């Protein structure tokens, strides 16, 4: 008999999720490391916080009003909607429901770092298919499918690269997967995408029995701290996930704020417009440093992966920005380590970041 409780062997392989850092050594820092909304959130959401159900009361475990409002806005039967404590919770649930020891959970190289944890937590084997130009390569994903593949995770737009698969590629991926493989399309950043460029995931989730689309209030709605996400798929799929989720997984305050935020679509549009404009200018400023080996990966999200292929390295750029008070994100992953992921902040912040990058590149 062991002298103490032993965690399941697959837990040992998990590296706890590393969130974007908030600050440097006590100096005031602009946080551009966690893809948060620089505009905050809807003022209506802030107002709703005060009138949320009293904290002494358990929340509505089914988030009924919120699911009804989401259903109305997106034209979905609320029975096909599940709420999560952030969309991250739903990714865990999906992997745990459909994959276990001996199974494979497949995703792309340079995908969201949580996917590896999600797979391992289910006891399954995480499998990475090579990326192409830092983006998801549908052919590589399909080629990596085996008899043991149970779940495929794709973020569109992808984090940390910002790359985006068009509708035709999402359709091709779905068509190429066996019917018994669950395709999870993680739409955490979809509100930042021009609605004209819809990737068809929501329509697929409405019709295909093996597709779950997940979304969040953490990004364009600006409610990252409230932990509200949602998913939609077939009623059967949603029922399965409901059996696994926390009974009261979305707090009173979170439900009230998300409901009010949903009613303020003008704020979401403002966030999308602001992001697109500031991102375009920032990309232009970085691309102008091409002679120093800097370039950007095309992004549809609220962040840009800047690549450093000249004298200035990704790590040095990250350190230089941090010493100047701008916290960004650097990943010590081969291939990704030449990049720095920078959240799109205010115009002033991004102009400052571009200026610092220029100075760093010119003096490297
Ligand atoms: C691609 C992607 N999916 C999901 C999430 C999880 O977000 P949340 O749990 O806050 O909804 C994130 C957060 O950074 C993300 O980048």
pLDDT at 239 over 80: yes
Confidence of residue 148 (pLDDT cuts 50, 70, 90): very high
**Which of residues 212, 230, 263 is at a domain's end?**
263
Q: What residue's CA is closest to ligand 1, atom 2?
A: 188
Q: Model confidence over 328-337: pLDDT tens digits?
A: 999 999 999 9
Domain annotation covers residue 155: yes
| Same-domain check for residues 136 and 192 | yes
pLDDT at 281 over 70: yes
**Which of residues 263, 280, 309 is at a domain's end?**
263
| Same-domain check for residues 294 and 256 | no
Domain annotation covers residue 1: no
| Same-domain check for residues 133 and 158 | yes
pLDDT at 10 over 90: no
Q: What residue's CA is closest to ligand 1, atom 16?
A: 159
pLDDT at 27 over 70: no
Query: For residue 20, what pLDDT is reported?
Result: 77
Domain annotation covers residue 299: yes
**Which of residues 219, 243, 263 is at a domain's end?**
263
Q: How far is the CA of 288 from the centre of ligand 1 (A)?
A: 31
Query: For residue 11, what pLDDT is reported?
Result: 87
Among 88, 185, 227, name the best residue to mutate to test ligand 1's pocket (greatest count of ligand atoms within 8 A of Cβ): 88
Query: For residue 22, what pLDDT is reported?
Result: 78
Q: Model confidence over 104-117: pLDDT tens digits?
A: 999 999 999 999 99
| Same-domain check for residues 232 and 270 | no
Q: Which residues line ligand 1 (CB under 6 A)?
A: 35, 86-88, 112, 155, 159, 186, 188, 216, 218, 224, 229
54: containing domain: 43-263
pTM: 0.96
| Same-domain check for residues 128 and 75 | yes
pLDDT at 308 over 90: yes
* CA separation, residue 26 to residues 66, 262, 279, 323, 352 (Å): 39, 36, 28, 11, 20
pLDDT averaged over every residue in the chain: 96
Q: What residue's CA is closest to ligand 1, atom 8?
A: 86
pLDDT at 25 over 70: no
Domain annotation covers residue 15: no
């Amino acid at each position: 008999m062991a002298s103490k409780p032993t965690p399941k062997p697959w837990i040992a392989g998990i590296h706890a999720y590393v969130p974007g850092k908030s600050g440097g050594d006590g100096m005031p820092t602009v946080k551009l490391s966690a893809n948060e909304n620089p505009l905050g959130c809807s003022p209506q959401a802030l107002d709703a916080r005060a009138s949320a159900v009293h904290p002494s009361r358990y929340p509505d475990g089914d988030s009924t009003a919120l699911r009804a409002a989401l259903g109305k806005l997106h034209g979905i039967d609320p029975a096909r909607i599940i709420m999560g404590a952030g969309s991250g919770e739903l990714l865990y649930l999906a992997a745990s429901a459909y994959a276990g020891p001996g199974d494979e959970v497949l995703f792309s190289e340079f995908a969201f770092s949580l996917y590896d944890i999600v797979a391992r937590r289910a006891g399954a084997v995480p499998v990475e298919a090579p990326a192409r130009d830092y983006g998801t390569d549908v052919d590589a994903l399909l080629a990596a499918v085996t008899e043991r593949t149970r779940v495929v995770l794709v973020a569109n737009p992808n984090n940390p690269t910002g790359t985006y698969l068009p509708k035709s590629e999402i359709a091709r991926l779905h068509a190429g997967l066996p019917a018994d493989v669950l395709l999870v399309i993680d739409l955490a950043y979809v509100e930042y995408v021009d609605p004209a460029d819809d990737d068809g995931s929501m329509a697929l989730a409405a019709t295909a029995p093996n597709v779950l689309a997940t979304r969040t209030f953490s990004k364009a709605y600006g409610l990252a701290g409230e932990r509200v996400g949602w998913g939609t798929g077939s009623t059967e799929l949603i029922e399965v996930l409901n059996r696994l989720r926390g009974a009261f997984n979305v707090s009173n305050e979170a439900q009230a704020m998300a409901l009010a935020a949903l009613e303020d679509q003008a704020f979401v549009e403002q966030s999308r417009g602001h992001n697109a404009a500031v991102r375009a200018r920032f990309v232009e400023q970085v691309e102008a440093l091409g002679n120093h080996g800097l370039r950007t990966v095309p992004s549809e999200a609220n962040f840009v992966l800047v690549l450093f292929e000249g004298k200035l390295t990704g790590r040095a750029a990250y350190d230089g920005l941090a010493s100047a008070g701008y916290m960004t994100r650097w990943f010590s992953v081969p291939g990704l380590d030449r990049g720095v992921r920078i959240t799109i902040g205010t115009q002033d912040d991004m102009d400052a970041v571009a200026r610092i990058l220029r100075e760093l590149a010119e003096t490297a």
